[in-house]
Structure 1
Amino acid sequence: MSDRRLKTEIWIVLGLSLGASAIYAVVDLTATLTRGPLKDATATLNRSQSDREWLDLTYQLLGIGFALVPVALAIYLMTLDKDQPSVRERLGLDRGGARSDLLWGVLLALVIGIPGIGLYLLGRELGVTAQIVTSPVDTYWWTIPVLILAAIKNAVVEEVIVVGYLTTRLRRLSWGVPQTIVASAVLRGTYHLYQGFGQAVGNVVMGLLFGYWFTRTQRVLPLVIAHTILDVISFVGYALLRDHVGWL
């Protein structure tokens, strides 16, 4: 595949997924800053899509499903590389390391999650992070299962595209390892800008760690597991504890 075609492919995949999210995040941050200080802003995730329960559930599930389409596209495009190892080998998707992947995923979640809480509180104190609402106010019997599905979706989309796909594609363009790690991390931070500067910086740090891990191991599953754990705790924990913990 020529470099020009590969660059076009990367722009298409990112334009259909997290590249578009990054642009929207910049616009959202600009809109927030022109309204007032970040400390007074609220970033709402997993918001309700309708005041009718069945329609809200339908929209939520459709949103999760269609968000995974760019992941399928990225993996499909990687399968077309006849001169490269299989996608399973390049992304470390084989079953042989399942137990190790789980253990490393839990460890990575601990390494990122505990300092992440402190960074969020510090960002709120400094006024550089918006208040983050991670679950809808109105809850139904299906709210927590859907929040878990949303966490898995986020993990798969971000880690497969921003780390696995983008890193391997940039390496084919002869980018150096440090450059690919930084590019992936900056993209991750950019599409989190709608949450404020504090969370963007935190996600850049997370991206640097995850990018370094992937370049050393060529395994994306521990990153998906770690990200899923972090988001499940954030989404479900908020839904269960927001009426009992003041700083939430």
Structure 2
Amino acid sequence: MKTKFGNYLEKMMMKNNYTLEYIAKQTDSSLSVVGHYRKGIRIPKDDFVERFIEKFIRIDKEADEIRYIVAYDRTPDLIKKRLEKKEEEIKSKKLAEMISLPVLGKAAAGLGHINFEDNTRIEILSTIKDVELPKNAFLVEVSGDSMFPTLSDGDLAIIDPNQNQMRMIEGKVCVFSYHDQTYVKRLKINKNEVRLVSDNNDKKRYSDIVISGEELEYLKCYGAVIESRRKH
């Protein structure tokens, strides 16, 4: 198995078009020794590492990373496996955390029209750690496939209720109610009308909902879709 320093050295040489001869000359090393380091056959000694850093590295953080990977290469395999397992555990904890959000019923993304309901259930989802969700965010379950491939039947869409002004949500996928029926559609605004548009290309089945004039009073936006989760 190739050493980490061998991988680093090979990528660095390819990126900068450096030859083995050039690396050997700059680090006052033999050509065969540098070749062994690049192939991962041998692990570099400390004096080579410091000469290499002095000649080629200008950023302290990168220098520390090189010293770390050399130290890692010298570590016995049993300890390496333990370190890798620990790093994966730490990484997974940093990447995601669990959140709970209320599911406020279903929104039609098809031919059927399903009314909004209040607090039908709570769903627990994983989310990126330290990424703050909007205040009062909630979930809506998508019904139908008129928004495919953006959203599919059964998807849970996370809604930002703060994005609810018509000019603010132009072009976005949002949850709307119109004459007491709830939809998840993309908003398009023309001069004298608005359109609730499906992303599905089958326009014979999923024609636009066109609203204008006094009918606009019956249109309400509950918020924009900011994420979706697909259940398999």
More helix per residue: 1 or 2? 1
TM (norm. structure 2) is 0.22
TM (norm. structure 1) is 0.21
Give 1 or 2 for the bigger CA radius of gyration.
2
